[in-house]
Amino acid sequence: MATVYVSFGSNLGDRASHIRNAIDLTSEFISWQFITPMVETAPYGKVDQPTFLNAVGKGDTGLTPEELLRALLDVEKKLGRTREIRWGPRIIDLDILTYDNLVLHSEVLTVPHPDLHNRDFLLKLLCQFFPEWSHPVLKKNACELLDDLTTRMPTSFKNENLRRVLGALGNPHEKVKTIYVTGSSGKGSVAAMVAALFNNNVGLFLSPFVCTSAEMVMIDGKQADLSSFKQQVLSVAKDLNVELTPFEVLTGAAYLAFEKAKKEWAVVETGIESQHDATNVKKHDISVVTALGMDHFDLFPDYDFYLRELLNSLSGPVISLEPLPGVDADVVVQAKYGIEDSQITLDGTQAYVTGMGTVRTRMLGLHQIWNALLAGEAYRAATGKEPEFSLLSDVVLPARIQVVRKDPLLIVDGGHNAPAFKSLVETINDLGVNPMRIILGLVKGKDHEVALSYLKRLGGQIFYYPPFSDRALTELPGIPTLPNLYEALEEPTPTLVAGSFYLAGPVLRYFNACHLG
């Protein structure tokens, strides 16, 4: 017998009756353990249609996955279901969410349900009524997936409402000095390195996360519990009758946590490179700009607009990796330093910096040495002290050209724009590990032509697999799509997974490679 989770939905006619009839009919081949109460939900995918009633059931069946699919389709047909418009109105909708811990991708069936992690109405039911449930691929329970869905990235260009809420909370964001890290690539690495140079005696805000949303906010080098601070933010927002996005709630809670911990400094990585991002509810004390290149094609019409938004977000002394148009940066790192005698291995990177000596990092690629120097200048500007680069020797973040397995070699990277792909290709070439099979995944707003132009230089065969996101590109013209990601990763073939944190995170969780201490 297999344990299955099945969803029930209806938005036509007597919705509750349709679901009850479906439960009765499916009881002939599923022994139900528990079925949740029905809940009213907004339509998903196609919004111009009536609201739904939904429920989720847990039961046992002796049917194979394909037999179960056919049986559910037969029930839908008996109840009058017709399929005319994708995501359109329906008398009854029955979906297999999970079947034991099976991961299956065939021409007729994908298990677990390929869009389950994006459907908050199902995750809420699973979180509330089935705490034992876990996603077979993403290796998370429903509550964790629900949190991930609502906090990973900003969803709008605004921060006026958050300013009002924080003002009512006593302006905690103004009571901590901030080092603001922006740019197109390398922001997370630089932010983590700055925090390490403070011996982690700071608040740290990273965006987005790779494996779990708990990565995003750290205090004194430890993950911060934001539950009470989120409740404070939400309560005040309700009192003021203003709406906040989940990312704004997270950002506001982080500033509250930093103030509560009495941190003098916090290092804040931007969500989106814009003055209207939630992280920019204050003027920062120092701004750091990493490598630049066009990003977020779905939000910015062109590079000039993108760059203008980024530069308008800067405040305080500016420390940049490279010269900035129209901005007189206080320090331009690539103009100040020279690097020679670099060594890159699967265990890390080291290089001799002119006038400074050898700098080492566990992260791979010469670009990480430049990131270290950028972090050092930020620390020097904040404290007036010389940075101790030895503190960076153990700094490591997931999915930054991460070696997950050495034999056969598996490298996972989440970079998704031109400077990131450039650094990735240079590092793979420096390692001398070509050719590698490449598994690429991209979300909307990323330039697939740029990605392919760089990755083709590695000479390996390129396959596509859609990232685990509702914004995923489902396919790339001319690039074969893998039928099963995890079967491919178990093959004895040197492999590079690249293009998206939404693809990198699940792969790292599958191999239990999220914790890098």
Active centre residues (catalytic): 81, 90, 93, 95
Do residues 96 and 4 touch, judged by C-beta distance below 8 A?
Answer: yes
- Strand arrangement of the beta sheet that strand 331-332 belongs to: 222-223, 217-219, 203-205, 265-269, 177-182, 286-289, 318-320, 331-332
Q: Quick one: how far is CA 15 from the chain centroid?
A: 36
Tokens of 468: 């685990």
Half-sphere exposure of 245 (CA within 13 A, CB side): 18
Give the count of beta carbons closer than 10 Å to the beta carbon of residue 413. Answer: 25
Q: Are strands 52-61 and 39-41 parallel, antiparallel or unpaired?
A: antiparallel
Residue 228, exposed/middle/buried by CB under 10 A (0-12, 13-18, 19+)? exposed
Q: Quick one: how far is CA 433 from the chain centroid?
A: 27
**How far apart, in Å, are the Cα atoms of 386 and each of 186, 390, 421?**
22, 12, 32
Whether the ω angle into residue 466 lies within 30 degrees of 0, i.e. cis, is no
396 Rama sector, left if φ>0, alpha if ψ -120 to 50, beta otherwise: beta
Place of tokens 């691929």: 137
Q: Distance between CA 342 and CA 351 in Å, rounded?
A: 4
105 Rama sector, left if φ>0, alpha if ψ -120 to 50, beta otherwise: beta
Element (H, E) at 178: strand 177-182
| Angle at CA of residue 498, ends 496 and 502, nearest 5° | 130
Residue 273 three-state SS: coil
Who contacts 23 (Cβ-Cβ below 8 Å, separation ≥6)?
A: 8, 32, 35, 57
Q: Distance between CA 105 and CA 280 in Å, rounded?
A: 43
Torsion, CA 239, CA 241, CA 242, CA 245, rounded to 10: 70
Angle between helices 227-240 and 246-260 (to 10 degrees): 120
Q: Distance between CA 276 and CA 347 in Å, rounded?
A: 39
Q: Distance between CA 467 and CA 449 in Å, rounded?
A: 17
Place of tokens 């905690």: 172
